[in-house]
Structure 1
Amino acid sequence: MAPSILKLATLVANLLILIAMVIFATGFFPYKPLLQGHASFDDSREFRRPPQVYNKLIFMVVDALRSDFVFSNASGFSFTQSLIRSGAALPFTAHASPPTVTMPRLKAITTGSVPSFLDVILNIAESDTSSTLANQDTWLSQLKARAEGHLVMYGDDTWLKLFPGIFDRADGTTSFFVSDFTEVDNNVTRHIPDELARDDWSTMIMHYLGLDHIGHKAGPQSPNMLPKQHEMDDIVKQIYTAIDTHEHLQSTLLVLCGDHGMNDAGNHGGSSAGETSAALVFMSPKFSEKKFEYASPLETVDDFQYYRRVEQSDITPTLAGLLGIPISTNNLGVFIPELLTMWNDGERMPKTA
C-alpha cells in the first residue's frame, strides 16, 4: 500500500504545481480586453474639438534617457537646459511603469494604455509580428487617417514591428548590437537635414539607441556617457534652430523623451527609481510667449524626480489635444495641464452655436 500512496501523492503534487503555474501565468500575463475601433470627434456634443495648435510633430526618443541625464547639473544637455530656462521648453519626469523595456513603453506612449509583461518576451523576439498595433487606436494611426502629410521614422526598428505599413519613409536599425555606440545613431542623424528641408511630412519619429548601449556595456558613469549626451543635445539644437528659422516648420512641436531609464548597473526592465524615471521635454518657440519659468539645471537627486512627475500614458492625450486629433480609444492618461495655456480661454472649449 505504501508505494501506491506515494505514487498518488506524487501525482497530486505534480498536478498542484501545474495548477499553481496556470494561476500565476493568468495573473502575471492577464488578458486585457481592448475597445475596438478608432476614436472620432462628435461635433453634435456641446463642446467641439479644440483648435489645432501644431500641424507638425518631431518625436525624438533617446533610449534609456534617465531624467538626470537631461535635468541635473551633471548633464550634457546644455542647450536643452537653456531652452528650459528661457521658457521655450517644458520639463517633466515621466514615470515608466514596469516592465521598463522598449516595446511595452512604446505601446504606453502611443496608445495611452498600460501594456503587460508578455511584451517583455515579444520585445526580444525580433521575428515577432503578433505585437503589432496596426489595428489599435494610437496617435500615429489618427495622424495617418488625417492624411495631412507623410509619417517618417528613423531608428529602432521596434517602431516598424509595432506599426507595419504606417510610415511613408523609414530606416530601421536593430537594437541588439549593444557594442555599437556610434553607427546606430549616425544612421538616424544622417536623415535629419534632408527631412528638415522637406515639407511633405506631418510627423517624424527618431529613436536613438547609442545611450542605452553605453549603459548596458559600461553603466551610467561610463566616460562615453557625457559625450553621447552632448551629441543628443546637438541634435535637439539642430532641430529647434530649424523650427525657429524655417517658415514651413513654424508650427512644429518637438518632444524629447526616454522610453525608460536605467539602474546603477546600466540595465533596465525592473521597477527601481532609475529605471522608471525617464526625461520628458516639450519644446517650441511658441512656449516663449507663455512665460514659463523653470530653473535649470537642478541639483542631482537620488530618486531621479525632477520637476513634476507625469505618467508616460499622459503623452497620448496631450499630443492629441495639441495636434487636433481624437484621443485614442484605450487611453488611460490625462492631458498635461501645464500645456492648457496653449489655448486662449475663449478657444479652449468652443461651444456649438
Structure 2
Amino acid sequence: MGAGITFALQASDEKARAGMITTPRGVIRTPAFMPVGTAATVKAMLPESVAATGADILLGNTYHLMLRPGAERIAALGGLHRFMNWDRPILTDSGGFQVMSLAGLRKLTEEGVRFRSHVDGSRHMLTPERSMMIQRLLGSDIVMCFDECPALPASEAEVAGSMRRSMRWAARSREAFGDRPGHALFGIQQGGISRELREESAQALRAIGFDGYAIGGLAVGEGQEAMFSVLDHAPDMLPAEKPRYLMGVGKPEDIVGAVARGVDMMDCVLPSRSGRTGQVFTRLGALNIKNARHAEDPRPLDDTCTCPACRSYSRAYLHHVFRSGEIVSAMLLTWHNLHYYQQIMAGMRAAIAEGGFAAWSAEFHAARTRGDIEPI
C-alpha cells in the first residue's frame, strides 16, 4: 500500500480472508461493507448513525459530487470529510460507471468521456486525469482509477476492447495520481465473464502497480450464478497481499458468496435504497413492511436485532409510518438494513478468525431459507 496506508491479513479460512486496512483516518476491518453516500450523504441517515451501525468506511460518488455541489467548492469548504461530517475513511469511485450509463448523453473516445449533465444539461469532459483531480479535491482516502464499464450484454470483442481501453486509462490514472502519502489508488479489473480477459486485465494492472485491486463489471445484470463463476477465479488473479474490492455488490447472499471466494471489500446501494421502499433484510430473509400482514403485529422486525427500529418499534408501527409516507420510516428501515449488513460482516470476520467460516455460512443460509416468522 502507499505510505501511511497498510493492509494486514490476520486470518484466512479456505479462500475467505479477514484483515485490517490501516489509514490515517482509522482502521477498516475486512471483510468490509461500505454504505453508499452518493451525494455526500447516506440517504435518510446521519453520519453518526452510520457509524453506530459499525461502518468503518463510506463510498462517495465522483460523478454526482462533481456536478453538484462541485469538487472545487467541496475543496474550498475543507474537503469531503469535513463537508459531510464523516471523520472515518472515504472511498470515491471514479465516475466511470455513472458516465457510461448515460447512454444518449455521452460520447466515448480514447481521451475520455464527453457528456451532458443529467442535472442541468451542462457539458463536461471526464478523463483519467480529470477524475484523479476531482478525487484529489474531494480528499478521499481511497481513490479508484478511471475505467469503462461496458453495458451487458456485449460481444467478447466489445468487452475485450473496453477492457484494454480501461487498462490504458488505468496507467494514465496511476500517472496522474502521483505520490500522495496517506492516500491509496485502486486499479479495476475488467473483462466481463471471460476468464482469459480477466487474466489479461489482472496482469496489466499488476504491471502498473496499485495499492489495492477492484473487480469491476459484475452485478450489472449477469445473474448470481455467472457472477460467482467469475469470482471462482478472478480474486485469485489479484495480489494476495493487497485488498480486493468487489464493486456494487450486493444482496446478503451475494456478499457472503463473494467473501467465500476471497473478496475483502464491497459496496451497494441496496440496503439503503430498500429501506426507503419498504424492503427489510433480516437473518430470516427479506420482508416487505407494506404488506397487510404486519398491520397489527406488535413484534419487532427481528427479535435478535439491536438496531433502534427493532429495539423500540413494532412491525405494526413501521407498517403504519411507511404506508403514511412518513420520513421516519425511511430513517428506521435504512438504519435496520445497514445494521444487519454490518452484523453479517462482523459475523464473517469472527468466523474466519476462528476457522469456522463454513459452519457460519451454513447457518446463515439455513436461517434465511427458513423465511420470516409466521403471521399472527
Structure 1 length normalisation: TM-score?
0.32
Q: Which is richer in strand? A: 2
Q: Give the greater-gyration-radius structure (CA).
A: 1
Question: What TM-score do you get using the length of structure 2 for normalisation?
Answer: 0.30
Higher-RCO chain (CA-CA 8 Å, sequence separation at least 6): 1
